[in-house]
Structure 1
Amino acid sequence: MAGRIPQNFLDDLLTRTELVELIQSRVPLKKSGRNYMACCPFHHEKTPSFSVSPGKQLYHCFGCGVSGNAIGFLMEYDRLDFISAVEELATRAGLEIPRDQSDTGPDLRPLFSLLARCTLFYQQQLKLDSGKQAVDYLKKRGLSGEVAKLFSIGYVAEGWDQLLKAEGTTEALRQQLAQSGMAIEKENGGYYDRFRNRIMFPIIDRRGRTIGFGGRVLDNSEPKYLNSPETPIFHKGQEVYGLYQALQANKSLDRLLVVEGYMDVVALAQFGVSYAVATLGTALTSDHIHLLYRHTGELVFCFDGDRAGRSAAWRSLETSLSEIKDGRQVRFLFLPDGEDPDSLIRKEGQQVFQQRVENAEPLSDYLLSHISEQCDMSHIDGRAKLASLAKPLIEKVKDPIFRELLEQKIQQSVGIQRAITRPVQQQRQSNKPIPSHARPKPVSPMRKAIGLLIQNPGFHQSIEEFHSLKNNTEAGADLLFELLELLQQQPELTSASLLEHWREKPAYQHLMKLANWDLEIPQEIAEEEFLHAFKRIQSNLYEQQLQLLLSEVKVRPLTTDEKQQLKELLSQKSQ
């Protein structure tokens, strides 16, 4: 079922989601009065200014201004798109996402279902006589049947249509196989299997769904490893192999070990190292790093000790610099020549390998040693060169504390005390506008009414008649009318779900600011203030209408309806 997610589902989802619990799973919160506080996860600060309101189900940072509901938090903190954030919350709440049939968006569920069947097909092929060669290979690599099952490892025999025969029984299915990257369309028509005579490694996302495959040959043919291409459900730069299994095996992850291949991940799991993941035949991206940091505070990058391995390690360091914040750590483990994680752990055992991981080189040490190799530190010009090489790297670091400590390390190495780069705090201060000391503008009744209603949706029940707002030309009248009309139809809406109705509309940011606006009105008189503001809006409207009719009567006779309206307005004014 394709299409847009119905608004009533989003309302229900946000009602079921406890924002404090969601944010607490990622950011430590401390109760402060009616709200919870923390140091903001979106900018560096020493004094907590990030507030989470259980009543409104909204968060707001008084330092950087970021604010939102549960969906917005996942989009910001986990770098998810809207659909992925909703899926994450739905999974937590145990809900299935419905779709609006009126929308024509792509339905990806058939592709997930197809790849699940492909996974089973490859597993079944491993058990056949034709799979004996693959089983022997896996046994030779020291893998047990239990680990093979854990990673859903399978096999496909030689042949151009093994999978097509099993899963491509109709033209629609053959097209799906091509769309999912499992089959390739011929130029002259027809299809053939992408993977042939390979051990198959399903790539599984965090929700346990197969999204692609990696295949390893059993002979000396090339390419040795073949991955699924980019598809609507598989993006190499955003996924890693083995993360699902690592999350299943560990309630919490102290660290993640990032290795280079599928077999490394599987072999390490065989020896009890259940926290290894691998990139999918592509260089490490910032999306990879952010994905991994959602689940741990420490990444250890494991590379061969040769020139190629160290080049890859350096690229990973450069990518990591901008992602380090809030105490996150990056370290590097370089293996002895001729070894990979698979061969080394079989040779040394789990305990010794684990010790290597724990003794991995911190990023700051690796950075300094790498750039020092290019400089003659016995001369002033060599030390100056090191400072020059370090400067653009330090400037990539966004976290002020880590940046300052890294700069101090470089300063000590080159023997200087002056700053190599301009402090982040100084940059921020220089970019700040000069504060205005003019008196703040008085709050209009319209702004106060909308702000109080967003923060207290239940106040709509005290308004008996509001349809006259449709005739009000004052700025914000149409918005107040829409809010009241929606709340009349759906009185159960919270602040968070009410705002969600405006996410795609121009007024969203304005409403979000009003939702977090401190009106400095005690809660016990807030509803009274709301009613007073609404009555002033109505009074202003009546005055506008009265003045218009009084000006009209000077130039022409009024109609019977206009006379009646004038009589009512004069009566209301005298009350």
Structure 2
Amino acid sequence: MAVFQNNSAQLVKDAADIVEVIGEHVELQKRGANYLGNCPFHSEKTPSFSVNPTRQFYHCFGCKESGDVLSFMMKLHNMTFPDALQDLARRYGVQLAETTLSPEEQERLKKRQKLFQVNGWAVQQFHAFLLENPAARKAREYLNARGVSAEVIKRFQLGYAPDGWDFLTAKLPGTEFGEDLAGEAGLVVRKDTGGCYDRFRDRIMCPIFSLSGQPVGFGGRILGKGQPKYLNTAETPVFDKSRTLFGFYQTKASIQSAEKCLVVEGNFDLLTLVSKGIDHIAAPLGTALTIHHVKILKRYAKEAIILFDGDEAGLKAAIRSVPLFLSEQLQAKVVTLPRGEDPDSFIRGSGRNALEKLIEKALPLPEFVFDHFVAQHGLSLEGKGRIIQDLQPVIGEIDNRKLQQTLFVSHFSEKLGISPDVMRNHLAKAPSSYKKASEAPRKIERLSTQHQQLLEFLLVYPDVLPRFIEAGLEDIFTGEQARDIIGHMKYLARDGGEISPELLLDCIEGPHKALVSKLLLSASLYSDETKEDMASEMEGWVRRKMLEKNKAQVVKQINEAQQQGDDSLMMQLLEKKKEMDAMTVN
């Protein structure tokens, strides 16, 4: 894996023409100093996607996406940072210099590559045994009975771990991999008495791949009566099941093409549906959906369709996923399967057409959850109270803009026949996580004209920051976002460091980032002479605002001294105010 020097990204961004790159995907029209077009990241009729060629960044006033040419390539094409960097470097003739890793970093990188290699070797061993060995006959018959096609077996490199203790262990001495590495990969287990034995025995083996196609682990389904029924690789330096989806590497192109993804619970649900021609599909690895899973889905799809089992566990899993999809603003629907059915059994029993008809009737996820609570509790006074109580933890975990929760409350309070305020008051008793999510400031701060011009000037000409700080800059901004932006600029400037729009945008998120993008797009550029005049004028305004603030504080102290009968202190303060008045006149 290439590791590039720290200045590589800046070299590429300096060489690349962001208008040219984005213009290949978006029809841009020049509007003043910027270019305007329809946002490629959300559907819109009125153009709100602005590209600034001078500062080499983009911002959408609709969905709030913003960034530079590298982040545009990464988001639009689902590329990793190194891939986007190398792609643009080749295009614009930038020579990328690779950096030297520390010994510790080199060792970690080498270990990861070795783990990929030993997993890849195990994939080959299990796959070859399934396809060729007579002892794997029952495994082949099982897959055939489950409706898994030969094509899918090869595409997903399914395998079989025979019912023994040393299928892999016995082969290790003839390879470059030792028992320690195989143990770290989760393929073998160390014995207290020395030596090791195979972790997976008598199991259909489903290799798990990273998004880039590296083998990171396995999911094994036992054929006999042993337990556990399903066994995944334990977490390793290259495998974290909370961040990995089974089958996603093989199906991500279909998901991206369809712009939607079916989410099923089990490996065999996925394998059976793919065998029946339904390819835009993924599955979590024996765990509930996580926010990381939803983030992956959002990169490739505009909609997720949850196809969990038609039992109580499947229902609870769907309910738990509501905050995840709402937090990431990814549209989600739920397919209701007959009780006792799972996607695998349903499609084998009723066929693909029947399943597709159910998918067409899928309900939006929040509606599905609400309807379930209504069916469970009814709409009596007591039932409505229970519904609101059940909705508390669901809404409480929404880590998103306040608007999401407001819409949720408004919509479902109407369905319950109560006012939004009543429902909101009940929800206010929810766990602290709800309050934290709902109270977090999410909107872009409104600034006065003078404050906005001042912040715009600082963002474009950050070299004046020290003199403005000395004049009292930090005390004249009261809004959290503006103060945080100035704080980040001070941090970047420490020890003579560089402040640039790109670096600033890289280190801030959410509404702060949106505010910076908005200000940069509206900021003006000046000649050197005019810039200095503007800097002096703005510095003077900062000093006057500080003087007004300090004078107000002195007036307050004078009143307090008068009330306390402290004539000596009052005379001192009056003299101080007189000096301030003289400074104001001057």
TM over 0.5: yes
Tell me the SS of whatever aligns to 2:219.
strand
CA distance in 2, matches of 1:272, 1:477: 53
1:86 paired with 2:89, answer: no
Q: Which amino acid aligns with 1:200?
A: M
8 Å CA contact retained: 1:257, 1:300: yes
Tell me the SS of whatever aligns to 1:353.
helix
8 Å CA contact retained: 2:9, 2:85: no
Give the TM-score taking structure 1 as reference length: 0.68
Q: Tell me which of 246, 269, 280 is aligned to 1:275.
A: 280
8 Å CA contact retained: 2:205, 2:219: yes
- Structure 1 equivalent of residue 116 of structure 2: 112
Tell me the SS of whatever aligns to 2:307.
strand
CA distance in 2, matches of 1:249, 1:519: 40
Q: How does 1:87-486 map to 2 (within 5 A)?
A: 87=82, 89=84, 98=98, 100-105=100-105, 106-107=108-109, 108-129=112-133, 130-169=135-174, 173-249=178-254, 252-323=257-328, 325=329, 328-377=330-379, 379-391=380-392, 393-394=394-395, 396-397=397-398, 398=400, 403-419=405-421, 420-421=423-424
CA distance in 1, matches of 2:386, 2:372: 13
CA shift, 1:286, in A, is 1.2
Tell me the SS of whatever aligns to 2:304.
strand
CA distance in 2, matches of 1:368, 1:198: 40
- Structure 2 equivalent of residue 56 of structure 1: 55
CA distance in 2, matches of 1:89, 1:125: 39
Q: Which has the higher contact order (CA 8 A, sep 6+)?
A: 1
8 Å CA contact retained: 1:264, 1:341: yes
- Structure 1 equivalent of residue 555 of structure 2: none
Q: Which amino acid aligns with 2:391?
A: A
- Structure 2 equivalent of residue 565 of structure 1: none
Q: How does 1:533-572 map to 2 (within 5 A)?
A: none
8 Å CA contact retained: 1:161, 1:193: yes
8 Å CA contact retained: 2:401, 2:442: no
CA distance in 2, matches of 1:10, 1:97: 11
8 Å CA contact retained: 1:39, 1:46: no
Q: Which amino acid aligns with 1:234?
A: F
CA shift, 1:408, in A, is 3.4
- Structure 2 equivalent of residue 458 of structure 1: none
Q: Which amino acid aligns with 2:129?
A: Q
Distance of aligned partners of 1:89 and 1:415 in 2 relative to their CA distance in 1, 3 Å threshold: same
Q: In the TM superposition, what whole-angstrom CA distance separates every residue of 1:269-315 from its partner, at most 9, and x where no partner exists?
A: 11011122111011111111121121112111122222222222222
Q: Which amino acid aligns with 2:424?
A: T
Q: How many equivalent residue pairs?
A: 484
CA shift, 1:210, in A, is 1.2
CA distance in 1, matches of 2:319, 2:30: 44
Tell me the SS of whatever aligns to 1:162.
coil
Q: In the TM superposition, what whole-angstrom CA distance separates every residue of 1:405-456 from its partner, at most 9, and x where no partner exists?
A: 433332233222343338999967899989678778979999875569xxxx
8 Å CA contact retained: 2:323, 2:395: no
CA shift, 1:137, in A, is 1.6
8 Å CA contact retained: 2:59, 2:518: no
8 Å CA contact retained: 2:414, 2:420: no
Task: Judge which range, 284-293 or 433-442, deviates more.
Answer: 433-442
Give the TM-score taking structure 2 as reference length: 0.67
Tell me the SS of whatever aligns to 2:148.
coil
Tell me the SS of whatever aligns to 1:244.
helix
Q: Which has the higher helix share?
A: 2
CA shift, 1:200, in A, is 0.9
- Structure 2 equivalent of residue 560 of structure 1: none
Q: Which amino acid aligns with 1:100?
A: T
8 Å CA contact retained: 1:450, 1:480: no
Task: List gaps (5 residues or longer) in structure 1.
Answer: 453-474, 485-493, 535-575
Q: Which amino acid aligns with 1:362?
A: P
Q: Percent identity?
A: 30
Distance of aligned partners of 1:71 and 1:357 in 2 relative to their CA distance in 1, 3 Å threshold: same
Distance of aligned partners of 1:260 and 1:67 in 2 relative to their CA distance in 1, 3 Å threshold: closer
Tell me the SS of whatever aligns to 1:421.
helix
